[in-house]
Amino acid sequence: MLNQLRPALVLLVALTAVTGLAYPLAVTGIAGALFPAEAAGSLIERDGRIVGSSLIGQSFTGEGYFHGRPSATTAADPADASKTVPAPYNAASSAGSNLGPTSAALAERVKGDLAALKAENPGRPVPVDLVTTSGSGLDPDVSPEAALFQVPRIARARNLPENRLRDLVAGQVQGRTLGLLGEPRVNVLALNLVLDDLAKR
């Protein structure tokens, strides 16, 4: 019996060391050497402090800022640990809402968001990504159409000409990855940082 167990235990320890320690450490080391910014989380720094990551959305609610996609992430309710409360862009709880097309809660939320966006910019079709959440709940990007839809509100809030803001959005549009993958997009945090820089001039 011991003769049969010994090779199995040796193999278990060896594979654990290789696949559980050596391989992850090697990949992390190579990634850190070749892509240091990406391996560190694609963090964005301003004035010596980290303001976010280009990979994780943030909740911008001010009238003078571009808003991202809605986020369905949650966190434990401080008053009752058995319940959850909305916590937009909570990276520790990355997930979609799992609400289906027949969900009354989803329909009510989308209706409310649509009404607010239509009031903000009457007569213009609302881009779908401004009322739908992503599968992760952390999407840092919006479509160029979603960013342009918000220009009139921001122009009013910041007293800036709309054409200047449209040019700002156009300058932040990222194309498809390798020219093939995904859709054109605008990183909301990067766009808002450029918007703040514009206000300082």
Tens digits of per-residue pLDDT, 12-48? Answer: 999 999 999 999 999 999 988 888 888 888 888 888 8
Q: What is the pTM of this model?
A: 0.81
For residue 74, what are the β-bridge partners? Answer: 86
Average pLDDT over residues 162-180: 93
CB atoms within 10 A of CB 32: 12
pLDDT in tens, 40-53: 888 888 888 998 89
Structure tokens at 32: 């850190």
Q: Phi/psi at 186 (nearest 5 deg)?
A: -130, 125
Average pLDDT over residues 66-85: 87
Q: Is residue 115 very low, low, confident or very high in pLDDT (cuts 50, 70, 90)?
A: very high
β-pair type (74-77, 49-53) = unpaired
Supply the pLDDT for residue 41. 83
Residues 6 or more apart whose CB falls under 8 angstroms from that of 183 comprise 143, 176
Q: Which amino acid is at 46?
A: R
> Is the confidence at residue 201, as pLDDT, over 70?
no
> Is the confidence at residue 3, as pLDDT, over 90?
no
Match 């992390």 to its residue by tokens: 28
Average pLDDT over residues 155-170: 94
CB atoms within 10 A of CB 173: 15
